[in-house]
Amino acid sequence: MKILIFRTFPSILDPKSYNSQEVGLARAFVRAGHPCDVAYYGGSGPARQEELEVPGSDRTVTLHWLPGRNFFKNGIFWGHQELLSRYDLIQVTEYDQLESWRLYRFWKGCPVTVYHGPYASEFTRGYNLKCRVFDLLFNSPKKNARVTAFAKSRLAEEFLRGKGFQKVSAVGVGLDPAALAAPYTPEARQETARQKELTLLYIGVLEERRSIPLLFETLAKVRQSCPEARLILVGRGEKEYVESCFARARELGVWDAVEYHEKVPQSQVYQLYNRANFFLLPTRYEIFGMVLLEAMYFGLPALSSWNGGSSVLIRDGVDGFILPEFDPAAYAGKILELAGDPQRQIQMGEAAHQRIQAEFLWDGIAAEMLKQYEPLVKNSES
């Protein structure tokens, strides 16, 4: 079976970045014995190709950069019919992209499936509006019932079901350990858990939906019982918002306990995971959150809100905590609970790593997809 992953969203990506989802999944399909290529939006330039190696295989993944235009955040493509006809199955991104819709609704050459991440929330008003317009003009729930779809989270699965997709399952997003700068080392986790100093970690954009002041408020409450506690904060944001957050940290008297980095090279990020006791992601909206996936892979118990990533990754109380309220006292309470029990902290971190290892590497996600892809292709050929 020859598969094409078609990223129809009109943005130009760096496919060699460590967390390129399309490349990670394509390589996993190839390792499973199924040739797979990726089609990307290439902007106004001519069509071109690029070859990428596949670790663990002597085959390659071909990247097809297709000419197109950005029409209100929709990729409009042309001249790719012959390319599409070479494949036995096409996987497109996002149900509401016009090119995705055109293919899963009208393409007759082979089965077309959807891999979707976004969902509606109060922080996605623009996306909510776009979907309302798309649904009014194009959506056909009865026809969507025949389309096989995969969601990046349970929230995205519920969202797709609300659009008429019935053959949909949440598989999450994968990690490629080969792309990481260092492997998981349980000895580092055990050493950190037993240290007197307690370290909290946040990595990501500094913006309102991520509830950055809550991090400082949590730190302040933790330091009432654990004065040596510290927070490592990594990320950038709009100047006005960042300054207001830092002002809140100074107001709380915890700024001196914050180690702030605008950016850390990817080759050094694993060192932060190894230094930290807990990973915090109190976000009000998250399609998935690769940092949450990485933190759990490196054995960190994660404390997060209910969002896309946490809905499929965290088993509450087993490998992390999902806190329904944005309450610093609740976050601090869970942190102090584990801080006083290093062995449980180690066990939760190991459970987090094992969960990612078992269910959220790209090879595992590709295997789950192939269970549905193989009969789809077989039925289309009969």
Residue 40, pLDDT above cutoff 90: yes
Starting at the edge strand that comes first in sequence, how are the strands of the sheet with 258-261 ordered?
Answer: 258-261, 230-234, 199-203, 278-281, 302-304, 320-322
Cβ atoms of residues 229 and 258 within 8 Å: no
Cβ atoms of residues 274 and 192 within 8 Å: yes
Q: How far apart are CA 197 and CA 230, in angstroms?
A: 8
Residue 84, pLDDT above cutoff 90: yes
Residue 137, pLDDT above cutoff 80: yes
Q: How confident is the model at residue 163 (pLDDT cuts 50, 70, 90)?
A: very high
pLDDT at 76: 95
Burial 52-63, CB ≥16 within 10 A → b, else e: bebeeeeebbbb
Domains for the chain: give ranges and CATH numbers: 3-176+361-381 (3.40.50.2000), 177-359 (3.40.50.2000)
Q: Which residue has the tokens 């943005």?
A: 11
pLDDT at 381: 80
Q: What integer is the mean pLDDT of 7-27? A: 88
pLDDT at 380: 86
Residue 370, pLDDT above cutoff 90: yes
Long-range CB contacts (< 8 A, 24+ apart) of 141-145? 143/105, 144/95
What's the predicted TM-score (pTM) here?
A: 0.94
Q: Which residues pair with 278 in a beta bridge?
A: 200
Q: How far apart are CA 263 and CA 363, in angstroms?
A: 29
How many other CB atoms are there within 10 angstroms of residue 379's CB atom?
A: 9
pLDDT at 346: 96
pLDDT at 36: 98
Residues 6+ apart with CB under 8 A from 201: 231, 232, 234, 272, 273, 275, 276, 278, 279, 280, 295, 300
Residue 12, pLDDT above cutoff 90: no
Residue 118, pLDDT above cutoff 90: yes
Residue 16, pLDDT above cutoff 80: no
Q: Which residues pair with 303 in a beta bridge?
A: 280, 321
Per this entry, what is the length of the chain?
A: 382
pLDDT at 13: 84
105 burial type by CB count under 10 A (0-12 exposed, 13-18 middle, 19+ buried): middle
Average pLDDT, rounded, for the chain: 95
pLDDT at 181: 86
Terminal CA-CA length for the chain: 14
Residue 45, pLDDT above cutoff 90: no
Q: What integer is the mean pLDDT of 232-246? A: 98
pLDDT at 115: 98
Q: How confident is the model at residue 18 (pLDDT cuts 50, 70, 90)?
A: low
Cβ atoms of residues 281 and 304 within 8 Å: yes
pLDDT at 294: 96
